[in-house]
Structure 1
Amino acid sequence: MSNARSLARGLNRIRLGSRALIAATTLAASIGGGLALSQPASASTNADHFLSKVIPCESGGNPRAVNSIGAGGLFQFLPSTWHGVGGKGLPQHASVAEQWQRARILYAQQGTSPWYASKPCWGHKI
């Protein structure tokens, strides 16, 4: 088989894999909060462990904290991110339990990346 044909087959596999990944991501986004609820207990434990390390770095433990760019709450959600994970209103006005619930959803969707800016604070605590 020629190198060109082999390369073409490999690219077709990548395209098919990318389509499946996009479809899975779209499906996960459409079920939103249900995704977090369907995770195994260990995933929730990992999320809670990580998120408990993030709180002091992001808000100093103040659920009503708001920073200079408008991110608020324990986890310093931007309003657009908050709404993207099903939150209503502003995060700093939500209960602590709801802030945790929305943070778990965000963690399930994106891992640690939403809190990357504060990694120098929490990175060594994990």
Structure 2
Amino acid sequence: MASRARKTSRSIRRGRALLVAPLLAATIGGGIAMSQPASAAGRPDAHRFLSAVVPCESGGNPRVVNEIGAGGLFQFLPSTWRGVGGQGLPQNASVAEQWKRAHILYAQQGTSPWYASKSCWGPKL
């Protein structure tokens, strides 16, 4: 019985994360429109892809920092964050700013910055 409760709880958390991330981005980021370069052919839709990345990278927590110093929803390293125009640290930025910088990084590099979390987004996209 405890196993079923854990499984149900895990499913609820995953479902919430999958629902909250796109909703939050749509509400806050609203009209972030990024055109993809020609080399982006065959890439998943940016917003759909990034929505799948969030639960795996940060569990939906925009303030989380991992053991190597990557932080925020998309687990930006500080150098990568600065490379896409971010100021300060990603975990201290607004959710809208984190989404904006993630869209920029995706437009530049596609899925490669999030390859370590491919088990979360790969089969779905």
Amino acid at match of 1:102: R
1:39 pairs with 2:38: no
Deviation for aligned residue 1:120: 1.3
Q: Distance in 1 between matches of 2:71 and 2:34?
A: 27
Q: Whose relative contact order is higher, 1 or 2, with alpha carbons under 8 Å and at least 6 apart?
A: 2
Q: Distance in 2 between matches of 1:81 and 1:57?
A: 19
In terms of fraction of residues, the more helix-rich structure is 1
Report the TM-score when normalising by structure 2. Answer: 0.66
Match of 1:102 in 2: 101
Deviations 1:52-73 (A, max 9, x none): 0000010000000100000000
CA RMSD in angstroms comes to: 1.9
1:57 pairs with 2:56: yes
Deviation for aligned residue 1:46: 1.2
Q: Distance in 1 between matches of 2:72 and 2:89?
A: 8
**Which segments of 5 or more consecutive residues in structure 2 lack a partner in the other structure?**
1-31
Q: Distance in 1 between matches of 2:109 and 2:93?
A: 21
1:111 pairs with 2:107: no
Alpha carbons 2:34, 2:107 under 8 Å: kept:
no
**Which segments of 5 or more consecutive residues in structure 1 lack a partner in the other structure?**
1-35
Match of 1:69 in 2: 68
Match of 1:81 in 2: 80
Larger Rg: 1
Report the TM-score when normalising by structure 1. Answer: 0.65
Q: Distance in 2 between matches of 1:61 and 1:50?
A: 14
Q: Distance in 1 between matches of 2:62 and 2:82?
A: 17
Q: Distance in 2 between matches of 1:90 and 1:46?
A: 26
Amino acid at match of 2:35: Q
**Which runs of 4 or more aligned residues in structure 1 lie more than 3 Å from their structure 2 counterparts after TM superposition?**
none
Give me the identity figure in percent: 76
For this pair of structures, how many residues does the alignment match?
88
Alpha carbons 2:34, 2:103 under 8 Å: kept:
no
Deviations 1:24-57 (A, max 9, x none): xxxxxxxxxxxx96617xx8x9110100000001
Q: Distance in 2 between matches of 1:55 and 1:39?
A: 21
